[in-house]
Amino acid sequence: MSASNDSLSSPYSAALFTGLWKENPTFRLLIGLCPPLAVTTAVKPALTMGLSVIFVLVCSNIVVSLMRNLIKPHVRIIMFTVTIATFVTICDMFLKAYTPKMSEMLGAYVPLIIVNCLIIFRAEACASKSGMVISILDGIGMGTGFTLALCTLAGIRELLATGHVFDIQVMPKAFVPWLAFQMPVGAFVTLGLILGLITALTRKKGA
């Protein structure tokens, strides 16, 4: 269909890789910022959240891409949201059944994936315009980029707030934990500083 099969799979690899860095949803596009701030007190919940987002993103991209020729433009947003809500419900029930503790920890942030701008943005910008393969790859790429960003933030915060990452002691015993990094202030400041660092680095590269 709209994806060309002859060229050296370049649209495919492009769809897969732009989300990782060039258009990283959290660090470059600044969309869907609630989960990166809210669930990144430790790496485990961040990883769970990231995987849930990948699942929802890929599934909704598939469905949106399949029905892109059937829906009228003015009802598309509501159709996208209902699709996303369906998959989020599945994901929420799955988490509740298999990792009840984690589900309790993430709480309302799992259903809040529905209103994560990232997912509806990809539905609108990619899946509603391109074929299924491209949409799947795009979902995987963007989702992975999002997960990486989440884990980076969570890693920094968990390390500074508790001295260990993934429940493994990293810092020496003498390290005094910075509890502030477990609080909201840590989330905002860490993300702000990372963004500043990225701006500084990319600007030098460009110049």
Partner 1 sequence: MDTFVALLMGFLSVVLVNNFVFTKFLGTCPYLGVSGHLDKALGMGLAVTFVTALSGTLTWMVDAWVLTPLHLEITRYICYIVIIAGAVQLVEMYVRRFFPALYEAFGIFLPLISTNCVVLGICLFLDVWGTNNLLEAVVLSTGTGMGFTVAICIMAGIREELMLSDVPEALKGAPITLITAGILTMAFMGFAGMIK
Separation of alpha carbons 46 and 54, rounded Å: 12
Alpha-helical segments (H) within the chain:
10-17, 34-38, 43-66, 76-98, 100-106, 117-122, 132-162, 184-206
CB of 35 to partner 1, least distance (A): 8
Within 152-191, which residues bind partner 1 (CB under 8 A)?
A: 183-189, 191
Separation of alpha carbons 24 and 40, rounded Å: 17
Q: Which is nearer to partner 1, 11 or 35 (CB)?
A: 35
Within 47-66, which residues bind partner 1 (CB under 8 A)?
A: none
Does 111 engage in binding with partner 1 (CB under 8 A)? yes
Give one word for 32, left, alpha or beta, with left for phi > 0 and alpha for psi -120 to 50: left
Contact 158/164 with Cβ under 8 angstroms?
A: yes
Does 25 engage in binding with partner 1 (CB under 8 A)? no
Half-sphere exposure of 178 (CA within 13 A, CB side): 14
Exactly one of 89, 133, 178, 182 binds partner 1 (CB under 8 A); that residue is 89
Q: Which is nearer to partner 1, 12 or 27 (CB)?
A: 27
Residues in the interface with partner 1 (CB under 8 A) total: 41
* Site residues (vs partner 1, CB under 8 A): 30-34, 37-38, 77-78, 81-82, 85-86, 88-89, 92-93, 107-108, 111-112, 114-115, 117, 120, 183-189, 191-193, 195-197, 199-200, 203
